[in-house]
Amino acid sequence: MKVVVVESPAKAKTINKYLGRDYEVLASFGHIRDLPAKDGSVDPEADFHMLWELDERGSKRVSDIVKALKGADGLILATDPDREGEAISWHVVEALNARRALKGMHVERVTFNAITKAAVDTAMRNPRQIDQALVDAYLARRALDYLVGFNLSPVLWRKLPGARSAGRVQSVALRLVCEREREIEVFRPREYWSLVATLVTETGAVFEARLTGADGKKIQRLDVGTGDEAAAFKRDLELATFSVGTVEAKPAKRHPAPPFTTSTLQQEASRKLGMAPAQTMRAAQKLYEGVEIGGETVGLITYMRTDGVDMAPEAIADARQVIAKEYGERYLPGAPRKYSTKAKNAQEAHEAVRPTDMGRLPKTVARTVDAEQAKLYELIWTRTVASQMESAELERTTVDIVAHVGPRKLDLRATGQVVKFDGFLTLYQEGKDDEEDEDGRRLPPMKAGDALKRERIASTQHFTEPPPRYSEASLVKRMEELGIGRPSTYAAILQTLRDREYVKIEKKRLVAEDKGRLVTGFLESFFKRYVEYDFTADLEGQLDRVSNAEIDWREVLRDFWKDFSAAIAGTKELRVTEVLDALNDLLGAHIFPEKADGSNPRTCPTCGAGQLSLKLGKFGAFVGCSNYPECKYTRQLAASAVEGDGDGTSENGGQPGTRVLGTDPVSGMAVSLRDGRFGPFVQLGEASPDKEAPKPKRSSIPKGLSPSSVDLEKALKLLSLPREVAKHPETGEPILANLGRFGPYVQHGKMYANLGRDDDVLEIGANRAIDIIVAKEQGGGRRGPAADPGRALGNHPETGKAIVVKSGKYGPYVTDGTTNATLPKTQAAEDIDLPQALELIAAREASGGGKKRAPARKASAKSAPAKKAPAKKAAAKAVTADGADAPAKKPAAKKAPAKAASPKAAAAKPAAARKATAKKA
């Protein structure tokens, strides 16, 4: 028997069916080791020695593999066919070597681009060794990310309170979003006019033509800049006679787009399906791992992390058969189409993302997968099949029209397009970002010299618009163009920016938050090189060279660390005033927008003498007056802060205080947004100096609602809480929605139930509120979160117990009513199925944990107090990059206060891991 290791339980289940009884397939559940989140995990002083650690979950997986290897004939590593997959295989081997489980064991590495029986069988017949170059590229990337995160983030925390952290690639992506925001702020609209004539041919057909020239000179889009100019042209056109000058019809062809790469799949899924990149990759992962169809589990698409656009010859042949059968021979080109990637270095260039079987039509697949996966599969299938279809044949027509008014000659032009043969357009048309669709209007038949009748002349005022904010799709596209990131990182980069609250999404566009603007401003001012696009792209190129075995990975780290460590050291003497001055200049257009009356936007509206500037407090950045403490004017950083509606004075003096949103129409009191000790809140009126007077009404801002998006309407809704949303169907008593210390909730009498992540306390309706309360009542208990009924997965094949996945205090878990098993961090609750749940419960039972506790008995007065067993704290086992166990440290008799160790001090200590082994990673 041979042991096969893959990443996921779903993949293990499918492959086990293909291989049969002679193989045991186990899942690693992704990475089993990682760098500990502490200083010293990567040591530049020891030639970038890396210390790896097995967490509890990883240790359990390694133990399972070690157990399976006893008596086995060999180990086969079948993780994903990319850099991360190669790294997972390497980690497994290193961890097994550390436990001496591979003595004399034959180890092989296999890869397959699709989870089908044919692909797996082919891979098993063609094993290889672990690609050390790919592993080295992983090590370099992981070390770089660690060194940036653990050295740059503390600088941010010290010099820029409120900042979360800074990542190597995420910071560059954030700069793109912030620069676009800056372009929008400094943009000045320009007025221009268009003149369009509606004309009628001799046969009565109506069409439109646009003014393009006058008196032998061309008129561009912005050339008619005032209403007076437009009025003069309109007057002449209304008096002119029109005739056809020339008619030119040109044949044209439009060719299909290549099949999907990771990047283009994320872009199209965002445009056409409204799916975020992370959401797209989750659904694609499920399609790749496969579903059961006709009694057989098969993968539906090829591997979804790739920058290649080519397809296997047999896949192209299958696509051509489908085209001929479903659409006819007219839609089949004479020869197969071949595509080549435009990526600078397609180091992960496997096949394009395509269906594993072209004959598996979307309508058939839709019966076996959920709605989201069905939509994504259809998108992949149509794009793939369309890529092998015949080109569309078009006819583009341009008609030049002459208008004579006295001695003056004006030129107009009408354009149109006719699809003569739709070709691939019958199936698929690629979406576009921020581009106008090509004019597809059809023009009536005309010939040179034909007289035309004027029906009307329209002059329309326009203003130029700023560049649009990035959508998730257009940002991924721009990152790919600049060479920033790689296919496997795009979704994670975007998700990280949102999780850190550096950006938010409004109307499907990425908007930079103030926190993100400050971080970018700081990095541009003091670490400019490390957020430059060319520098980041060049570094990605070096990592690609490492993966091609062209350069040593430690050489890349040495070159990077030499300058980066010097830049970090240069900030030690950096004063906060220097940081503020730099940010005031860089973000001036955002913090101090121009006023309509032309007055100085930095003049304090309260004292009239002081100058406003950016300041830092324990709650983060805010705007304050230079005459503090005599003048205590403060306001929030956002440019939307309203000035003149209040004195802006903060009771705390110098802390970000008040943004007046407007006046309550009922009470006439001011409604303001304020920053407090526990976060932002809205307030009605002002506090009275009389301690006996009632305090003004306040309401906190719900988590997930950005303070900058709170307007008067939302503030009034928050201040109106609690609000009645329904009557209980049995008692008739009101069900209230409100905000509490632990978030939004609904209440019925003494029954409280927390709202879900997708529920809005301001918008929740009667039916949903009743459902939550009833579910809580059925689950028992008086307070706390609503009982989660969970999602039924099926019954245990042996015990018959119902298996359910639920949301718990410490994350999602599966249960059979007796044993609870927490889901791994890499496993989403919505993705878990019955076999995976049974495996987790069985593993939990085998470890002796997860059992529900019996109710504790009340201690009687006579009973002796139970003795406490000595508590033993399990120490996490640290493993060096070479795989050797680091000697465990003896517990100190008395723990001294912890101090932050400098990199030099950490390097000076005789690391136990370094003593244990002299090998290199």
Q: Exposure string (b/e) for 423-460, b if CB count within 10 Å is 16 or more? A: bbbebbbeeeeeeeeeeeeebbebeeebebebeebebe
Confidence band of 896 (pLDDT split at 50, 70, 90): very low
As a whole number of angstroms, the distance between CA 283 and CA 634 comes to 47
Do the Cβ atoms of 148 and 530 come closer than 8 Å?
A: yes
Do the Cβ atoms of 556 and 543 come closer than 8 Å?
A: yes
Pairing of strands 802-808, 811-815: antiparallel
Q: Which pLDDT score, from 0 to 100, does residue 885 have? A: 38
379 or 585: which leads in pLDDT = 379
Distances (CA, A) of 354 to 117, 121, 316: 17, 20, 10
Q: Look over the chain and give the mean of its residue pLDDT values, rounded to a whole number.
A: 82
In sequence order, the 6+-apart residues with CB closer than 8 A to the CB of 735 are 724, 725, 726, 727, 728, 746, 747, 748, 766, 769, 770, 773
pLDDT tens, residue by residue, 674-696 = 866 667 788 998 877 777 778 88
Q: Which pLDDT score, from 0 to 100, does residue 550 have? A: 92
Q: What is the mean pLDDT of residues 877-890?
A: 39
Confidence band of 893 (pLDDT split at 50, 70, 90): very low
663 or 437: which leads in pLDDT = 663
Conformational region of residue 350, where left means phi above 0, alpha means psi within -120 to 50, and beta covers everything else = beta
Q: Which amino acid is at 205?
A: A
pLDDT tens, residue by residue, 769-784 = 888 888 887 764 333 3
Q: What is the mean pLDDT of residues 591-600?
A: 81
- 293 is written with which tokens? 């169809």
As a whole number of angstroms, the distance between CA 6 and CA 441 comes to 54
Rounded to the nearest 5°, which phi and psi values hold at 288?
A: -70, -45
What percentage of the chain reaches a pLDDT higher than 90?
37
pLDDT tens, residue by residue, 112-141 = 988 888 899 999 999 999 999 999 999 999
809 or 327: which leads in pLDDT = 327
Q: What is the mean pLDDT of residues 462-483?
A: 91
Distance of CA 414 to the CA centre of its chain: 43
Do the Cβ atoms of 831 and 820 come closer than 8 Å?
A: no
Q: Which pLDDT score, from 0 to 100, does residue 154 have? A: 84
Q: Which pLDDT score, from 0 to 100, does residue 424 have? A: 94
Q: Please report the DSSP string for 422-441 in residue order.
A: -GGGGT-----SS-PPP--P
* Sign of the CA dihedral running 155, 152, 528, 517: negative
Q: How many CB atoms lie within 10 A of CB 153?
A: 15
Pairing of strands 23-27, 2-6: parallel
Q: What is the mean pLDDT of residues 554-563?
A: 93
Q: Please report the DSSP string for 327-395 in residue order.
A: H-GGGS-SS--------S--TT--SPB-BS-TTS-HHHHTTTS-HHHHHHHHHHHHHHHHTTSPPEEEE
As a whole number of angstroms, the distance between CA 701 and CA 707 comes to 7
Please identify every residue annotated as catalytic: 303
Q: Which pLDDT score, from 0 to 100, does residue 898 have? A: 42
pLDDT tens, residue by residue, 694-714 = 888 888 888 767 776 788 888
